[in-house]
Structure 1
Amino acid sequence: MRGGSTLTADLVRHTEGDFYMFEPLHGVWQAIRQNRSTQFLNGTVRNIVKEEQQSVYAELLYHWFTCKFDNIDITSLTNRFILHHTPELRDYYYCVASNRKHQNKTKLRIVKTCALLLRIKCRSAASRTIKTVRLSIFMAGKLLKWLPNLKIIYLLRDPRGIVNSQFEHFINEGKNVSTLARELCNTISYDLSSFEDLEPCHKRRMMKVIYEQLCQYPNIEVAKIYAFLNVEYTAERKWFVERIMKGPIWRCAYCTDRGNALKNAYRWISLISEDTLNITELWCSFLFSKLGYQHLEYNILNTTRVSWITPT
């Protein structure tokens, strides 16, 4: 979370006829955290434990990509993310919302009634894009085997910016800075290792993107992403990139039109506390050389503008 994935996904999915789903694993993640059961559209109910979490995530994404909504959880199929991030699916969402007025209908029955609208959109789509921060790269490797046409974009951001942003927006899940930074950078390290293991066999189907590099050179980097996806980078798409990356400004937590993207990417430099910087560097500095980030001393932050250095 707070790694730039919402903006990046909006850039990626700006193609005609794309079926897009924003964070479809969020409901199951919450159910696991709260030790709640999960109901699926086919009527089954499961108590998913943490040990099987990643396997379940991969299965769910497979069903989303293949439009098999009977195997999707009800929470994800009724999440307000659908309305906020995929206005092209508003007919489905409003079908669910309007049917909720009928007290004699269960949520399961309502979604079953409306799911046809979702299936039509999904099955007729020219492409399907899913944005998630929940799946490990290791399990993404399973999806590469199951879905021969799948391509994966792995986004990375300076962990100091992520840690600062999570605390700023109160989404640190009750963790202190040390725990959050340690867990975050251990996850990044594990994902990087998995990426390196998978890349030799799937080189043309996996792409690594550095968020700061994307914000610094948007047209160059987006053109690379579109080439990776075999999509033409048209003048209209260039205009869209300019608008997303430079304004106008929209004031909301998950909006991506928020002015200067590069300035926003490095906003943390002017906000981070000395303790947060030092603790995050303690747990995460082993990653910096691999990703192109520089070590920063707190007493030079007032003259520092960037943390990622263009490779020479």
Structure 2
Amino acid sequence: MDVRNLDAKLPTDSILTKRKICCTMFVVLGLLTFYACYVGVAVELPPAPAEIDQNKTEVNTLNKASIHRNRTIVLIVAYMRTGSTLTGSLFREYSSAFYVFEPLHMLQQAFSRPADDKVTLKYVNGTTRNYLVSERSEVFLDEINSWLNCKIESLSIQTLTCRHHRVFTKVMMAFFYCSQGHFSASISHVDANLERCLRTAISFCKEAQLLAFKFIRLSMEEASKLLPLYPNMKIIHLVRDPRGIIQSKLKIKAVTTKTFKKDVVTYCSRIEKDLKVSKEIPQKHPKRLKILRYEDLAEKPLETAETLFKFLGLTFEKHLQDFIFQQTHASHKSCKYCTQRKNSSKTSNKWRSHIDHNMAIFIYDTCRTSNVILGYLPLESAQALRNLTIPSRRLVHEV
């Protein structure tokens, strides 16, 4: 999508068995890969973080980022129910990738439930850090920098033990199982077994030609602060018709009829702010941002994926093409949080057959600014909403 035109548009202000077998094979393959490096790679583990004052709240962010010039870095900045899991999986499957799914998940939870306006994070060397809730953004960027520099031993224990590692990643899935039983509330040092687990994950990270991270808890403003530090970093800003997002959230009860209006206003405000930043990035950092509409990926998965890899300067490998076809033309539909779909194109428009017409109007009007920018159309009548031959978006030019 051409972000160069945003300036004029923005206001200034048994199937079950098969599934189990596939999941088991995936876990086993990950563990075998991890074991191969575990016994064959000797990597010096960087020193653990120095002792930290338990009352310290200052955050030293963005001043020690090293530049990996021989690798590609991609951040996928998305929103819940925008197809971000599918998009992230494209890069997870790349032949030399270190991919992390939702690196900020546990941090977001910690900062959402503070005790006395303070958040305590623990680290593998037994130390703790106390942060103010107002330091959330700095802490987020600090941990992202640790990921980007393969300083996995510097991440908080909350992040290292995130349950998402065991499902949606490869290297960190293996780390998750390798490190089982080595983390505890009273951890005071890195034991030999945990050290080996860390070494192997760090080795994979350092050797990867692609570092990819998928976020739904990172703003474009936060992501943009990393671009000057990493000249080889690019950002994919993943968006979707807000009516599809909200209907999907209603289906899984992430939005309720009671919270509906508040949730819509919150989302529309967030994406409008993000698009303002997306407008500015190409001016400061040309060819380093791509706005991707979920509908384009769902309706033309191979063509759109090839465009994404070209944007990143990566080879669109044959096994990736096979993977994408399998995910978007599966023999059965997978779970509500999974990526396999019988017909991804049909899935992307399914909301039109289920959403309440009055709700659809409220969502569109509330998000009107971003909808105009992204090309989403109003579908003002109930007949137009249900008639899938009437497009819900206009064509926009690619970057």
Once the two structures are overlaid, the 10-residue window that deviates more, 25-34 or 91-100, is 91-100
CA displacement, residues 42-91 of structure 1 (integer Å, 9 cap, x when unaligned): 54433444432222212211111111123312111111211101134443
Q: State whether structure 2 residue 255 is matched by structure 1 residue 172.
A: yes
- Written as runs of structure 1 = structure 2, the 5 A alignment for 1:1-312 is 1-35=80-114, 36-99=119-182, 106=187, 109=190, 112-113=194-195, 114-172=197-255, 176-300=259-383, 301-304=385-388, 306-311=391-396
Give ranges in structure 1 of 5+ residues lacking alignment: none
CA displacement, residues 224-243 of structure 1 (integer Å, 9 cap, x when unaligned): 10111111223332222222
TM-score, structure 1 as length reference? 0.90
CA 1:240–1:251: 2 relative to 1, 3 Å: closer
Aligned partner letter, 1:243: Q
Once the two structures are overlaid, the 10-residue window that deviates more, 302-311 or 155-164, is 302-311
Shift of 1:16: 0.8
Q: Distance in 1 between matches of 2:170 and 2:153?
A: 22
CA contact (8 A) 2:124 2:187 kept: no
Q: CA RMSD in A?
A: 2.4
Aligned partner letter, 1:59: D
Once the two structures are overlaid, the 10-residue window that deviates more, 238-247 or 193-202, is 238-247
Q: Which has the higher contact order (CA 8 A, sep 6+)?
A: 2
Give ranges in structure 2 of 5+ residues lacking alignment: 1-79
TM-score, structure 2 as length reference? 0.72
Aligned partner letter, 1:30: Q
Shift of 1:98: 4.6
CA contact (8 A) 2:125 2:190 kept: no
Aligned residue for 1:130, secondary structure, equals strand
Once the two structures are overlaid, the 10-residue window that deviates more, 232-241 or 155-164, is 232-241
Aligned partner letter, 2:344: A
Count of aligned positions: 310
Q: Distance in 2 between matches of 1:46 and 1:161?
A: 40
Q: Distance in 2 between matches of 1:187 and 1:90?
A: 31
Where does structure 1 differ by over 6 angstroms across 4 or more consecutive aligned residues?
Answer: none
Shift of 1:208: 1.1
Shift of 1:108: 6.7
Once the two structures are overlaid, the 10-residue window that deviates more, 75-84 or 266-275, is 266-275
Higher helix proportion (structure 1 or 2): 1
Shift of 1:152: 1.0
CA contact (8 A) 2:167 2:173 kept: no
CA contact (8 A) 1:39 1:45 kept: yes
Percentage identity across paired residues of the two chains: 29
Q: Distance in 2 between matches of 1:198 and 1:129?
A: 19
